[in-house]
Chain A
Amino acid sequence: MAKSALRKWLVGGPPLAYLLFFFAAPLLIMVVASFRGPGDFGGLAPLLSHDESGTQLNLTTEAYERFFSDFLYTGLFLKSFGYAALATLLCLAAGYPLALLVARSPRKYRDILVLLVILPFWSNFLIRVYAWMMLLGPQSFVSTALNGLLGLAGLEPVSLLYTPTAVVVTLVYVHLPFMVLPLYANLEKHDPALLDAAQDLGAGAWQRFWRVTFPLSLPGVYAGAALVFIPAVGIFAIPDLLGGTSGIMIGNVIKQQFLDTRDWPFGAALSLMLMLSALALAALAARFGRGALR
C-alpha cells in the first residue's frame, strides 16, 4: 500500500510540482498584483508602507473600478469575443468538411492527409502571420485582383491590411488545424454501420448527416471550438501586426499595460477578467452541450 502510494507520487509529483510552480503560483501573483496600486514609475507600488500610524497593507480595487467604470474595456472585451467567435464559426465551417473528408478517405491516405493538415506548424507562427501581411498588403495580388474587380464594378478600392477582416482571416488560418484535429479524431471513430442503418431506414444524405453524423460529432465540435476560441480571444500578435487601429483586441491592451504603460495592476486585472469570462463561457457551453447531446 505504502509502496504504491510512493510510486504514485514519484510519477505524478514532478509534473504536479511543475504546474504549481509555473502555473498556480504565477496565477496567484497575478491575483494579488491586480489588487495592488501602480508604482510611481510603473510596475507595482509597495505592498507594505510605513508611516507614523504604523505599517499598512496597500490593497485596492482601483483597477477593477476602472475596468467597470469605462465601457471602453467592456466594449473591447465584447469585440474580442466577437472576433474569436466569428473565427471559431469560420473554422468550424471550413474545418468540418475537411475533417469529414479525411475521416472518410481510404485508411492508407488518412495519415498523410492529417500530416498535411498540421504541416503549417512546421514554420514559425510569426512567419506565417508576416506571410499574411504580404498576402493582404496593398501591392499583393489578392489586393490588386480584388480592387481590380471592384473598379470594374465602379466601386471604391478597399485596403485589406490593418482591418478587422485581416485579423479574422488570419485567426482562422492559424487556428484551423486545432479545429480539424479533434473533429477528425471524433469522426474517424464513427461506426459506418450507423449510416447504413439510417439509409436503410429511409434517411437521405442530408438527414443522415444532420441526424447521425453531426450529433455524434458534437464532442469533437466542442473540443475544436474550445481549442480555437480560447487562444483566439486573448491573442495579441495577430491584431498587433495585421489589425491596425480598428482591429485591436483585448490582448493588445493587456500587452500595452505591461510593456508600454507599465500599469501592472490594471494589466493583471484585465488578464484575470479575460480568464474568468472565457472560463464562464466554457462552463456555459459545456452545460449547454451536455444537454444537447442527450
Chain B
Amino acid sequence: MPLLELRGVTRRFGDFVAVDNVSLSIEQGEFFTLLGPSGCGKTTLLRMIAGFDAPDGGTILFDGRDLLGVPPEKRNLHTVFQSYALFPHMSVAQNIAFPLRMAGAAADAIRQRTAAALEQVRLAGLGARFPAELSGGQRQRVAVARALINRPRLLLLDEPLAALDAKLRESMQAELIGLQREVGVTFVYVTHDQSEALALSHRIAVMNRGRVEQLGAPAAIYAFPRNRFVADFIGECNLLPAELRAMAAGDIQLEVRGVGEVHATHGEQLAAGARGVLALRPEQVQISSGRLPEDSRNAFGGTVEQLLYRGDVTVYTIALAGGARIQALLPNSGGGRAASFAVGASIQVGWRADAGHFLPD
C-alpha cells in the first residue's frame, strides 16, 4: 500500500483550475518531487496534502485513510515552509521542541530529543539563539529539524532551498539527501528548479497547468521527455519542428524544417504525416571539423555562429546549411578541444539516431 495516494484530486479557484484531476502514489521512504513552473499547481497540491486547503474533487489517502476533514494539526505529517516560518519569539531549541510540546511530551524527553535533533542538523550549541541571529542555511536546518522531531510519516518541503544562494543550495541538497536516507521519512518536495529536482529525487512528477505531464525517475524524464513541455522545462533542449515520413521498428524518419531528413526514435506506433518536434539534447550533438564518428547516422554541414565558454563546457550555436539553428554542448575536458572551433568556422555536426526523440503534437 502506498503511503500517500492522490486519486483524481482537483482544485478550482473560480474559473481557474489550479489542480486538474491529479492522481499519484507515493511509496514509503521515497523522495518524491513535484516539479513545475510557478502557477502549475504544485504548491496548491502540497497545501491540500498538509490540510490547509481542501480538494473540490477527488480523494487524498494517507496510509489508506481518507484525509478529508482531518485538520492539519491532526495529520501525521509536517511541512517545511518556503519562508521557514520559525517562531521569532522562541529560541532555536524552543522552536525545535514545539511539536513535542504540542504532543504533550515529558520535559525530560523534550530536552533529550531537542539536543539530539540539534546535533543531527549540526546546530549543537546554538539552541539558545533566536532565529533572527541565524544565517539562512542555519534557519533552514532549524526548520527541517523542527518538522522532523516527532518523527512524522511524511515531510512536505515547499521550495526549502529557494531563499539560499547557489553555493549554499548545493551543499544543502547533499545534506537533505543524507538526512532523508538517515531518518527514512518519506519526502514530498516542491520546487521549480529542475536541476534541484534531478539531483534530489527518486521520482519526479513534472506539473504544468494543474496536470502531471510526466512521472518517472529523473534519468528517465531527462532522457525520454514525453512531450514538448517536459523536454523544454527539464534541462536544455533543441526543439525543431518536424513531420513524420516513415516508421519502422522504433527507427523513424523525420523531415525536420531547416535541417533535412533525420533519423530518430519514438516508442509508439504513429501514422506517417504526424507533426511534432524533434527533441535533441545539446550534449548529444557532436561537432567535427573533419569526419564524424561512425555512429552518427545524422550528419549535416554548418557554421559556428556563437560560442559561450562556461568553464566546464562550451555551448555552441550552429547555423545549419538548411537554415535551422541548433545548440551543441561540448565538455572542455579534452585538452582545449572544445575551444578549437572558432566563430565562423565551417564544421560538421552529427548525432546518433537514438539521440533524437520525436514528440508528436
Identify the A interface with B (CB < 8 A). Answer: 191, 193-194, 196-204, 207, 211-212, 215-216, 293-294
Task: Given A193-B81, A197-B79, verify A204-B87 contact (CB < 8 Å).
Answer: no
Q: How far is the CA of A201 from the CA of B80 in the complex (A)?
A: 10
Q: Are A194 and B73 in touch, CB under 8 angstroms?
A: no
Residue of A nearest to B103 (CB): A202
Kindly list the 3 A-B residue pairs having the minimum CB-CB distance in the complex, ordered from nearest.
A202-B102, A197-B85, A193-B85
Task: Given A196-B81, A197-B79, A202-B103, verify A216-B71 contact (CB < 8 Å).
Answer: no
Distance to closest chain B CB from A189 (angstroms): 11
Is the C-beta of B99 less than 8 angstroms from some C-beta in chain A? yes
Q: Are A201 and B89 in touch, CB under 8 angstroms?
A: no
Interface size class of B (residues with CB under 8 A): 20 to 34
Q: How far is the CA of A294 from the CA of B51 in the complex (A)?
A: 31
**Chain A interface mostly helix, strand, loop or mixed?**
helix
Q: Are A200 and B87 in touch, CB under 8 angstroms?
A: no
Contact with A along B65-83 (1 / 0, CB 8 A): 0000001110000110101
Distance to closest chain A CB from B131 (angstroms): 11
Residues of B within 8 A of A200 (CB): 50-52, 72-73, 78-79, 147
Task: Given A196-B81, A199-B71, A201-B78, verify A212-B50 contact (CB < 8 Å).
Answer: no
Beyond the given A197-B79, A202-B150, A211-B87, could you list 14 further A-B residue pairs with CB under 8 A, ordered by the A residue number?
A191-B85, A194-B87, A196-B72, A196-B79, A198-B98, A199-B71, A199-B72, A200-B147, A201-B102, A202-B99, A202-B102, A203-B102, A211-B98, A216-B89
Q: Which of B41-77 contact A (CB under 8 A)?
A: 50-52, 71-73
Task: Given A197-B81, A200-B78, A204-B73, verify A293-B89 contact (CB < 8 Å).
Answer: yes
Distance to closest chain B CB from A168 (angstroms): 32
Q: List 12 A-B contacts (CB under 8 A).
A: A196-B79, A197-B87, A199-B52, A199-B71, A199-B73, A200-B50, A201-B78, A201-B98, A201-B147, A202-B99, A216-B88, A293-B89
Q: How far is the CA of A191 from the CA of B82 in the complex (A)?
A: 13
Is the C-beta of B146 less than 8 angstroms from some C-beta in chain A? yes
Q: Are B83 and A207 in touch, CB under 8 angstroms?
A: no
Distance to closest chain A CB from B127 (angstroms): 14
Distance to closest chain B CB from A291 (angstroms): 13
Residues of B within 8 A of A207 (CB): 102
Residues of A within 8 A of B52 (CB): 196, 199-200
Residues of B within 8 A of A202 (CB): 73, 99, 102-103, 150
Q: How far is the CA of A294 from the CA of B89 in the complex (A)?
A: 7
Q: How far is the CA of A207 from the CA of B73 in the complex (A)?
A: 11
Q: How far is the CA of A271 from the CA of B344 in the complex (A)?
A: 92
Residues of B within 8 A of A203 (CB): 73, 98, 102
Q: How far is the CA of A284 from the CA of B213 in the complex (A)?
A: 63
Residue of A nearest to B102 (CB): A202
Q: How far is the CA of A200 from the CA of B147 in the complex (A)?
A: 9
Distance to closest chain B CB from A288 (angstroms): 16
Residues of A within 8 A of B102 (CB): 201-203, 207
Q: Which of B73, B83, B146, B150 has the most CB of A within 10 A?
A: B73
Residues of B within 8 A of A216 (CB): 88-89
One of A191, A199, A204 near B83 (C-beta < 8 A): A191
Residues of B within 8 A of A204 (CB): 73
Residues of B within 8 A of A293 (CB): 89
Distance to closest chain A CB from B92 (angstroms): 13
One of B85, B99, B103 near A196 (C-beta < 8 A): B85
